[in-house]
Amino acid sequence: MQRGHDQGIRLHLVRADTYPLRNLAKERYLIIIISTHGEGEPPDDARGLVEWLSGKRAPRLPNLHFAVLGLGDSSYPKFCAVGRRLDGCLEKQGATRLIDLGEADVAIEEVAKPWTEQVLGKVVEALPCVAPTLRLMPPRTPEPTPSWSRKQPFIASVLTNQRIVARDSEREIRHLELSLQGSGLHYHPGDALGVCPANPAALVEQWLGTLQLEGTQPVTFAKRTLSLREWLSYERDITKPYRSWIEAHAERGHHETLNQLLQADQQGAFADLLERDQPIDLLRRYPVEWSAEQLIATLRPLQPRMYSIASSQQEVGDEVHLTVAVVSYTRDGIPHWGAASSFLAAAREGAQVSVFIEPNERFRLPSDSARDVIMIGPGTGVAPFRGFLQERQHRGGSGRNWLVFGNHHFNRDFLYQSEWQAAIKSGVLQRIDLAFSRDTSARVHVQQRLLEQGRDLFTWLCAGAHLYVCGDAKHMAADVHQALIEIVANQGGQQPDEAQAWLTDLMRQGRYVRDVY
Amino acid sequence: MYGMCTDMTTNPSELEQIKLASQFLRGTIITSLADPLTGAVSDADAGLLKFHGGYLQDNRDLREERRQQKLEPAHAFMLRARLPGGVVTPVQWLEFDRLAREYADGSLRITSRQTLQWHGILKGQLKSTIAAIHHALATTIAACGDVVRTVVCTTNPIESATHGLVYEWAERLSKHLTPHTRAYHEIWLDGEKRVGEVESEPLYGANYLPRKFKIGLAIPPLNDIDVLSQDMGLIAIIECGRLAGFNVAIGGGMGVTQHDASTYPRLANVIGFVGVDEVLALAEVMVGVHRDWGERADRRHARLKYTIDRRGLQVFQDEVERRLGHALAPERPYYFERNSDRYGWIEGHEGFWHLTLSIESGRLADHEDGRILSGLRALARVHHGDFRLTCNQNVIVAKVAGKDRAGIDSIVRDYGLDGYRKQSGIRRHAMACVALPTCGLAMAESERYLPVLLSSLEQLLDRYGLIDTPILLRVSGCPNGCSRPYLAEIALVGRGPGRYDLRLGGDFQGQRLNRLYRQNIDEQAILDALEPLFARYVLVRGETEKFGDFLVHAGIIGLEPGPTTVQGSVV
């Protein structure tokens, strides 16, 4: 946006679900930046746009010049699928491509920066009447942005780091409270906190040991010189496997099995590998020589991790609370860790953590406090709803609150149990439904509870309630969505596809929102 | 109410109202059981649940940790069986063992009133456990609460034929005095609600008793049940091999409230004799007077013993006799030899043998030193007689045919159940209440501390050559005295973490209360206080004088006058 303004171009930034689709036929220049999720799915707020543009109702667009920048993760088979799809649709409707589709990988800037320059250049070329001498539209004054950001995170100190599962829980989940004092940062419940982690020291040693490299060795990359250990600790992602590194690794060695897995017909097996293994496992299983320079050059930068914020500033003021599931397990007798979660788990009181706020404008409480709210948040997905309840308690209002929570064991990992009990007792929370999957052989999950309460759920929704889902993307979100379709179909006397449309419309209205990961 | 007591958060008269409003002990138990948000039940329902044999508890070791983890306390239930006379068949034993492993914490606990407890039962499994107990032809009803509790009976006397008779009376009394309410069936056994039928409790009334009522039957010369600690004790009088009737003793009770001198332990008064034909009638009368005269506003003074002292013994006896219809006959002679169990094999009646095993603190569990729970299970699989639990928290393998003895012995040896052969004189008779981590009233450790304490005491005793001398030691985690500490020769009564009152001077027959010797001291101070006493005891005692008697004779412990503190002849 800033680049565009600098060049005197009047740009309107709109979110896909707030854009009136009928205006598209009148547009002359359209830039679309869109991500792809899961199995080639668009983000929820763009579903409407994508379906409409791909469907029969898409208008002819002979006057439109467009460019699409897709965001994705090349480790997944349907890389930038949505971007490609839109690019193709627009072309099909007769629009003119300004520049080719851009496909940005996890390190977004690498592709996005040059692409942005290029597309803006084309726009300036194509708009002869927009000369730098023309009156510049003053840029809409943006909201006062804090000076902290992803590039310049705020250094917050840890106030509390408390385990919130019982001692006999097989997993470790922790509640962290960080101080934002002096930062001027503000957030809303539903927003995320970006955390810039350091990799676990033991893991860094495992890399150095397996590759037989010296940690003190200085390595220069992109004009920065750090020790190899520092690069691996702070600057490189060494816990999440991804395709391009695996390809590079395979190229260096000659491991048949690994090469096999990279073939196009092995997507399922490759997906399994991505889920199961960390890069360290591959280093061990397929030993290969890496020089320090090549390693640093090939590995991608350590990305910040996002955590749904578990508090409301109405309640906690200058603090921000998180609910963190610590990823750590033993495989083949060797301990494994997640980067950010073990970093946070080990953070003592007073430790410093680099953070920034990532607003999530769609995942907000309704501004009308008379609206009912239904929150589905199993596991750590319950985090933002803790903030929601805190906020609703302070705001008052007649809107009712309904929480659906699930986890493994009632006795061990009923996250924030004493707080929910207090909320029920005080009346802030009107309803709570629980599903503990490993307490009985029946393996109950949240979607079963939804189905059991289908009638009330539908009544609440018809009366204007907002529905929120937060948590695991892979299975839970889909299962919950299926349950919702079933509920709407049964209660509303509709066919499944009508129910699906009803829900999509709810999404479009912003009354069915998801924060899934 | 009880200082640090966390057992009841409602105040006393509130509990009376809860009972009255509960519709014969139903309350909102079913709703509480179904509440998925908590592993507990409501406070009111927790009070009512006791009448059903269940205690809401939580693991106190984890309380603070879980509070910080934003989790509620680790709630679980204790269930107590109602086992008149402590008799358990092998079939029942195997089922109780299975329930211990499947629903409870993997152990069984023999109580000081010869019944069994399960700890650690989750709310969602309470019903299954109670139903299973019911199907094993046992029950948990009225094992706790303001009712007549388990009726205890001396186990394994020498004349087994008469024992059988006395045991039958224990059973009969228990049945006769069990609450009538159908609540138990409705809640736990899927009993149908009987619409239109007016429910009543002819004996208990709608708000039951002011406090518990403990009945015990003793067969002289054995006083293993501590008959004088019961609200109503019945001392079997056997003449010419015939059970003539019982001496009646009333007003015993152990419980004391911390810092409240108006509460005290009391020995029952023997007030007369009743023939077998009037036992049930007398029991009804006694329970009736407790029901009508007992203090209902202040639970601390609600036990029968306080009613008797408040009204006066004679007034009380007059009322009993008035309701009975005649005066009680004069008491008949009896004497007690001991209140401890006799370990090892004893030949009984009809050629059967009985083996009394020593179970430390009555805890049947598997651990390094002995697989006690598994051992009993193995015995239950082969045993053709029955098991008798004792009021000293032990178990008797009863009615073993002579030819089966070797097999029993072999199992006992294999599983490490033969501790009775080699235990020291103080270890074999020691008793401890459960206390931590499950008892909500405990102020100090008891069961978990006993092994440590015994080791220290044994070292001390050994130094003075007293390692084999029988000494009666009882430890309680709080002044409520569930392990009957006020009758022991040496007693530790918990006051706070690691601190106890040291009481001395009880006897070996259960006929003399001990006295406070040192207040609120730690283990080292306890050992320091006892050592000089052991030193003197060794020098003076002769062959047979007991430690408690020695303390009294030597003037170290002053006797308080009166039948409510000392009875029988001081040897």
A415 has a chain B CB within 8 A of its CB:
yes
User: What is the pLDDT, as a whole number, of residue A379?
Assistant: 96
Three-class secondary structure of residue A51 per DSSP? helix
Same domain, yes or no: A246 and A345: no
Q: Is the pLDDT of residue A290 over 80?
A: yes
Same domain, yes or no: B497 and B511: yes
Domain-located, residue B387: yes
CATH number at A340 reads 2.40.30.10
Q: For residue B433, indicate whether it is catalytic.
A: yes
Q: How far apart are CA A239 and CA A236, in angstroms?
A: 9
* Contact yes or no for A166 and B68 at CB 8 A: no
Q: What residues of chain A lie within 8 A of the CB of B58, using their CB? A: none
Q: How far apart are CA A306 and CA A104, in angstroms?
A: 19
Q: Are B432 and B475 in contact (CB under 8 A)?
A: yes
Q: What residues of chain A lie within 8 A of the CB of B72, using their CB? A: 417-418, 421
Least Cα distance to B117 among B176, B55, B58, B35 occurs for B55
Domain-located, residue B348: yes
Strands B366-367 and B54-58, bridge-based pairing:
unpaired
B70: nearest CB among A419, A424, A432: A419
Domain-located, residue A73: yes
Least Cα distance to A122 among A102, A103, A90, A98 occurs for A98
Least Cα distance to A513 among A327, A365, A350, A378 occurs for A365
* Contact yes or no for A175 and B70 at CB 8 A: yes
Q: What residues of chain A lie within 8 A of the CB of B68, using their CB? A: 162
Query: Which of B423, B458, B486 is the C-terminal boundary of a domain?
Result: B423
Least Cα distance to B114 among B364, B336, B394 occurs for B394
Same domain, yes or no: B372 and B415: yes
Q: For residue B144, indicate whether it is catalytic.
A: no
Q: How far apart are CA A193 and CA A304, in angstroms?
A: 9
The percent of residues in chain A predicted with pLDDT above 70, rounded, is 95
Domain-located, residue A141: no
Q: How far apart are CA A389 and CA A383, in angstroms?
A: 10
Same domain, yes or no: B434 and B527: yes
CB-based burial, B166-187: b 16+ in 10 Å, e otherwise: bbebbbebbebbbbebbbbebb
* Contact yes or no for A415 and B70 at CB 8 A: yes
Q: Which helix (H) or strand (E) holds A85?
A: helix A81-92
Same domain, yes or no: B444 and B534: yes
- Tokens 């290029």 map to which residue? A118
Please state the ipTM of this predicted complex: 0.90
Q: What residues of chain B lie within 8 A of the CB of A163, using their CB? A: 69
Residue A158 belongs to domain spanning: 154-187+304-358
A456 has a chain B CB within 8 A of its CB:
no
Domain-located, residue B306: no
A405 has a chain B CB within 8 A of its CB:
no
Q: What residues of chain A lie within 8 A of the CB of B64, using their CB? A: none
Annotated active-site residue in B144, B153, B391, B478:
B478
Domain-located, residue B509: yes
* Contact yes or no for A418 and B67 at CB 8 A: yes
Same domain, yes or no: A398 and A327: no
Q: Which residues contact A405 (CB under 8 A, 6 or more apart)?
A: A377, A378, A382, A414, A415, A420, A432, A433, A434, A435, A446
Q: Are B285 and B293 in contact (CB under 8 A)?
A: no
Domain-located, residue B405: yes
Q: For residue B149, indicate whether it is catalytic.
A: yes
CA distance B72 to chain A (A): 6
**Residues A265-273: what's their mean pLDDT?**
84
Same domain, yes or no: B386 and B497: no
pLDDT-derived band at A135 (thresholds 50, 70, 90) equals very low
Domain-located, residue B244: no
Window 166-185 of A, Cβ < 8 Å to B: 166-167, 175
Annotated active-site residue in B482, B484, B512, B515:
B482
Same domain, yes or no: B456 and B533: yes
Domain-located, residue B104: no
CATH number at A225 reads 1.20.990.10
Annotated active-site residue in B19, B26, B80, B399:
B80
Q: For residue B478, indicate whether it is catalytic.
A: yes
Q: Are B444 and B498 in contact (CB under 8 A)?
A: yes
Same domain, yes or no: B438 and B535: yes
Q: Which helix (H) or strand (E) holds A321?
A: strand A319-326
Q: For residue B214, indicate whether it is catalytic.
A: yes
* Contact yes or no for B36 and A410 at CB 8 A: yes
Q: For residue B80, indicate whether it is catalytic.
A: yes
Q: What residues of chain B lie within 8 A of the CB of A410, using their CB? A: 36, 39
CA distance B69 to chain A (A): 4
User: What is the pLDDT, as a whole number, of residue B12?
Assistant: 55
Query: Which of B423, B452, B473 is the C-terminal boundary of a domain?
Result: B423
Same domain, yes or no: A63 and A103: yes
**Residues A261-287: what's their mean pLDDT?**
85
Domain count, chain A: 4
User: What is the pLDDT, as a whole number, of residue A458?
Assistant: 97
A434: nearest CB among B36, B67, B69: B36
CA distance B31 to chain A (A): 16
pLDDT-derived band at A144 (thresholds 50, 70, 90) equals low
Same domain, yes or no: A313 and A179: yes
Same domain, yes or no: A253 and A385: no
Q: Is the pLDDT of residue A106 over 90?
A: no
CATH number at B523 reads 3.30.413.10
Same domain, yes or no: A75 and A40: yes
CATH number at A125 reads 3.40.50.360
Q: Are B115 and B389 in contact (CB under 8 A)?
A: yes
Same domain, yes or no: A123 and A24: yes
Q: What is the three-state SS of B298-355?
A: CHHHCCHHHHHHHHCHHHHHHHHHHHHCCCCECCCCCCCCECCCCCEEEECHHHEEEE
Summarize pLDDT for A352-366 with one digit per residue, the tens: 999 999 999 999 999
CA distance A278 to chain B (A): 30
Same domain, yes or no: A271 and A309: no
User: What is the pLDDT, as a whole number, of residue A11?
Assistant: 76
Q: Are A458 and A488 in contact (CB under 8 A)?
A: yes
Summarize pLDDT for A410-459 with one digit per residue, the tens: 999 999 999 999 999 999 999 999 999 999 989 999 999 999 999 999 99
Same domain, yes or no: A354 and A380: no
CA distance A419 to chain B (A): 7
Same domain, yes or no: B448 and B530: yes
Domain-located, residue B270: no
Query: Which of B389, B423, B457 is the C-terminal boundary of a domain?
Result: B423
Same domain, yes or no: B397 and B357: yes
Least Cα distance to A383 among A305, A474, A480, A307 occurs for A307
pLDDT-derived band at A334 (thresholds 50, 70, 90) equals confident
Q: Is the pLDDT of residue A345 over 90?
A: yes
User: What is the pLDDT, as a whole number, of residue A331?
Assistant: 79
Same domain, yes or no: A180 and A226: no
Same domain, yes or no: B482 and B403: no
Domain-located, residue A195: no
Q: What residues of chain B lie within 8 A of the CB of A417, using their CB? A: 70-72
Q: Which residues contact B115 (CB under 8 A, 6 or more apart)?
A: B80, B81, B82, B83, B86, B143, B150, B389
B70: nearest CB among A417, A424, A434: A417
B70: nearest CB among A167, A410, A418: A418
For residue A412, what is the nearest residue in chain B, using CA coordinates?
Answer: B71
* Contact yes or no for B62 and A419 at CB 8 A: no
* Contact yes or no for A167 and B62 at CB 8 A: yes
User: What is the pLDDT, as a whole number, of residue A78?
Assistant: 83
Q: For residue B194, indicate whether it is catalytic.
A: no
Q: What residues of chain A lie within 8 A of the CB of B74, using their CB? A: 166, 411
Domain-located, residue A118: yes
CATH number at A430 reads 3.40.50.80
* Contact yes or no for B69 and A163 at CB 8 A: yes
* Contact yes or no for B66 and A419 at CB 8 A: no
The structure's pTM equals 0.86
Same domain, yes or no: A415 and A464: yes
Phi-psi sector, B27: left (phi>0), alpha (psi -120 to 50), beta: left
Q: For residue B439, indicate whether it is catalytic.
A: yes
* Contact yes or no for B70 and A411 at CB 8 A: no
pLDDT-derived band at A129 (thresholds 50, 70, 90) equals low
Window 330-389 of A, Cβ < 8 Å to B: none
Same domain, yes or no: A346 and A441: no
Domain-located, residue A192: no
- Interface residues of B toward A, Cβ cutoff 8 Å, are 36-39, 62, 65-72, 74, 122, 124
- Tokens 């301990």 map to which residue? A335
User: Going residue by residue through chain B (571 aa), what tens digit of pLDDT does each one get?
Assistant: 233 333 344 455 789 999 999 999 999 999 999 999 999 999 999 999 999 999 999 999 999 999 999 999 999 999 999 999 999 999 999 999 999 999 999 999 999 999 999 999 999 999 999 999 999 999 999 999 999 999 999 986 656 677 788 999 999 999 999 999 999 999 999 988 877 777 889 999 999 999 999 999 999 999 999 999 999 999 999 998 889 999 999 999 999 998 888 999 999 999 999 999 999 999 999 999 999 999 999 999 999 999 999 999 999 999 999 999 999 999 999 999 999 999 999 998 888 999 999 999 999 999 988 899 999 999 999 999 999 999 999 999 999 999 999 999 999 999 999 999 999 999 999 999 999 999 999 999 999 999 999 999 999 999 999 999 999 999 999 999 999 999 999 999 999 999 999 999 999 999 999 999 999 999 999 999 999 999 999 998 877 899 999 999 999 998 777 888 888 754 3
Amino acid identity, position B534: F
Q: Are B234 and B217 in contact (CB under 8 A)?
A: yes
User: What is the pLDDT, as a whole number, of residue A83?
Assistant: 92
CB-based burial, A376-406: b 16+ in 10 Å, e otherwise: bbbbbbbbbbbbbbbbbbeeeeebbbbbbbb
- Tokens 């309350």 map to which residue? B27
User: What is the pLDDT, as a whole number, of residue A132?
Assistant: 46
- A vs B, Cβ pairs < 8 A, gives 42
**Residues A162-170: what's their mean pLDDT?**
96
CA distance A358 to chain B (A): 27
User: What is the pLDDT, as a whole number, of residue B11?
Assistant: 57
Same domain, yes or no: B361 and B459: no
Summarize pLDDT for A37-94 with one digit per residue, the tens: 777 888 877 877 888 888 877 888 999 999 999 998 887 778 899 999 999 999 999 9
Domain count, chain B: 2
Residue B353 belongs to domain spanning: 344-423
CATH number at B411 reads 3.90.480.10
* A26 burial type by CB count under 10 A (0-12 exposed, 13-18 middle, 19+ buried): exposed
Q: Which helix (H) or strand (E) holds B292?
A: helix B279-293
User: What is the pLDDT, as a whole number, of residue A37?
Assistant: 79
Domain-located, residue A193: no
Same domain, yes or no: B544 and B485: yes
Annotated active-site residue in B428, B439, B484, B512:
B439
